[in-house]
Amino acid sequence: KPFAEYWSKEKAKLISSQYPNRLIIGADTIVTFNNQILGKPKDKRDSKNMLNMLSGNMHQVITGVTLICKNKKISRTFSQSTKVYVRKIPNDQIDFYINNYNTSDKAGSYGIQDWFSIWIEKINGCYYNVMGLPISRFYKEYSEILSKL
């Protein structure tokens, strides 16, 4: 959690310095498996290694979100965690996914909203969090600061 929250805040701070009167939203999503952070893959080999790790296992997706309005002294950071259970994926299906979908811009090398969804057995938590923004929690936090904007 601290890792995703830290990077969401760093992203938001960078943009808020350029737009101090605006509400800036920063987010960062990571995948954790066996106490290891899986970010975006470096290349197709890295994608294959990540997907092999996740195959047949449960992992967590953590998204850190920061809302900042510099001139109004608003700074709120939170994170959401979702457990994702992946069925065992045959090697040829992992290769198919890597060769036909963009895995390079996704933490853990997959997008739950695309073809990869056929391998998701179940999730425990917010689906939208796995996509990169926990919508319900975001709206709750946003609503609480709305009157200060």
Which residues are identified as catalytic? 28
* Structure tokens given for 132: 């990169």
Instruction: Tokens 């997706």: give the residue.
Output: 61
CA distance 55 to 33: 11
Calculate the CA 41 to chain-centre distance: 14
What distance in Å separates the CA atoms of residue 72 and residue 29, rounded to the nearest whole number? 26
Tokens of 127: 């689906």
